Amino acid sequence: MREYNCKVSKRCGGCQLSYLRYPDQLIYKQNQLSSLLSDFCTVDEIIGMKNPFNYRNKVQTAFYWDYKRQRTASGVYQSNSKSIVPTDKCMLEDEKADKIAVTVRKLCDSFKLRPYDIKKDYGFLRHVLIRRGFNTGEIMVVIVSATPVFPSKNNFVKALLKEHPEITTVIHNVNDTELNLALGARSKTLYGKGYITDTLCGCTFRISPESFYQVNPVQCEILYSKAIEFAGLTGKETVFDSYCGTGTIGIIASKKAKQVLGVELNKSAVRDAVTNARLNGADNVWFVCDDAGEYLDYITGEGERFDVVILDPPRAGSTVKFLNAAVNARPKRMVYVSCNPVTLKRDLDYLTENGYAVKKIQPVDMFPFTSHTECVALLCKN
Ligand code: SAH
């Protein structure tokens, strides 16, 4: 296995576990999860990566003006701060994406496009977002600027494509807010379709610039497959997919279930989910834009029954309101996909006190070199 040798690791702070070799990181995470969760059941062995480098298929590079050298510099935001650490590559990021970001930087100098300086409120380029479809190879480049006028944009795009003909779409986004890495509300497609597609567990998904899509596709496929396996689908089940995002888990599940209902709070994610369902010819899956708990309460009140409830909440975990609705819905099984073991423990405590037993916990290492871990837990009704 390659050695970790990042020169900016200390300043960047993104790789909290870089002081450990990869096999030791897995042991560290396993121990941490076992001490937190083994009261519920044995925690299965964490599934690590064969190659734990360059797994991020979503890359964001920030730009600033280097006064000393009188040229544009680029790098990553320091964890929890606004300062940019100059670097051309990150050991966790897709290598092709890193190269494209360097080309964007060079082109900015040759086209005399100054990076944006937030203190002076002067300049053009803020950051670039690059996403790559792992299985399709499609590449999206989003140029995010502070001002709406993009001088010589056609020649800029031409020069970028000449250097990287594998880019399939280029988008210009205007972010005039205070938030550094955010995308603004206005986007204009300069080249290609304005989105990319990728395949995951045999299904196709559309990824727009602002869509949520897991950043580690290799491990994501393993995670979702585990979630579907834990759901125990035979083709007869009705499934409630809560916190469904762009519908990924629900659409994959729909191939093996009778019916799937996905609920998600974010409007644009629901729009993507509907498109994704159509893209996959999944006509037994529906999506609703609402609070997952409120909707589950409502629909069970209408007499609807679910065999399986899947939940994949954000880092803050679920809420008593949702968990209570899930318990009242009385599904045979619940599958909890979690990106934060601490809130997972809190929510499993609630569910085990209310008629469910934890049968399996499978950790998957989605974010090597960082302190984050993802888990899938299976609960069955007592
Ligand atoms: N299951 C998806 C997305 C998980 S991210 C996937 O794997 O891709 C968590 C999602 O929960 C986000 O899309 C967020 O918008 C949504 N969310 C947060 N609070 C919610 C709530 N109260 N009700 C429904 N969805 C919610």
274-331 pLDDT, tens per residue? 999 999 999 999 999 999 999 999 999 999 999 999 999 999 999 999 999 999 999 9
Comparing 168-182, 291-305, 366-380, the range with the smallest average pLDDT is 168-182
**Per-residue pLDDT tens digits for 108-145:** 999 999 999 988 999 999 999 999 999 999 999 999 99
Which is it for the CA torsion 316, 319, 322, 324, positive or negative? positive
Output the six-digit token pair for 108: 């900015």
Query: What is the 370 CA–ligand 1 centroid distance (Å)?
Result: 22
DSSP-assigned letter for residue 365? -
Burial of 13 (0-12, 13-18, 19+ CB in 10 A): middle
Amino acid sitting at position 133: G
pLDDT at 133: 95
**Cβ pair 245, 264 in contact under 8 A:** yes
Q: How many whole angstroms separate alpha carbon 172 and alpha carbon 152?
A: 13
Residues involved in catalysis: 339
Which is it for the CA torsion 159, 161, 165, 167, positive or negative? positive
Which mutation among 200, 249, 265 tests ligand 1's pocket best, with the greatest number of atoms within 8 A of CB?
265
Q: How far is CA 326 from CA 58, 105, 333, 336, 342, in A?
A: 33, 49, 10, 11, 20
The residue whose two tokens read 């085990």 is: 352
If DSSP codes are grouped into helix, strand and coil, which group holds residue 184?
coil
**Per-residue pLDDT tens digits for 183-242:** 998 999 999 999 999 999 999 999 999 888 889 999 999 999 999 999 999 999 999 999
Q: How many whole angstroms separate alpha carbon 301 and alpha carbon 283?
A: 25
Give the number of residues written for the chain.
Answer: 382
Query: What is the 239 CA–ligand 1 centroid distance (Å)?
Result: 16
**At residue 182, does pLDDT exceed 90?**
no
Non-local CB neighbours of 2 within 8 Å, separated by 6+ positions = 51, 53
DSSP-assigned letter for residue 166? T
**At residue 177, does pLDDT exceed 90?**
no
Q: How many whole angstroms separate alpha carbon 267 and alpha carbon 265?
A: 6
Output the six-digit token pair for 284: 């037994």
**Per-residue pLDDT tens digits for 14-57:** 999 999 999 999 999 999 999 999 999 999 999 999 999 999 99
Closest CA to 378 of 162, 264, 232: 232
Q: Pick the residue with more confidence: 180 or 253?
A: 253
Q: Is the pTM of this model over 0.85?
A: yes
Burial of 132 (0-12, 13-18, 19+ CB in 10 A): buried
Residue 314 CB less than 6 A away from ligand 1: yes
Residue 248 CB less than 6 A away from ligand 1: yes
Q: Whose CA is nearest to atom 10 of ligand 1?
A: 243
Q: How many whole angstroms separate alpha carbon 357 and alpha carbon 53?
A: 36
Amino acid sitting at position 37: L
Comparing 146-150, 172-176, 268-272, the range with the smallest average pLDDT is 268-272
Bridge partners, residue 63, by sequence: 74
**At residue 181, does pLDDT exceed 80?**
no
pLDDT at 1: 76
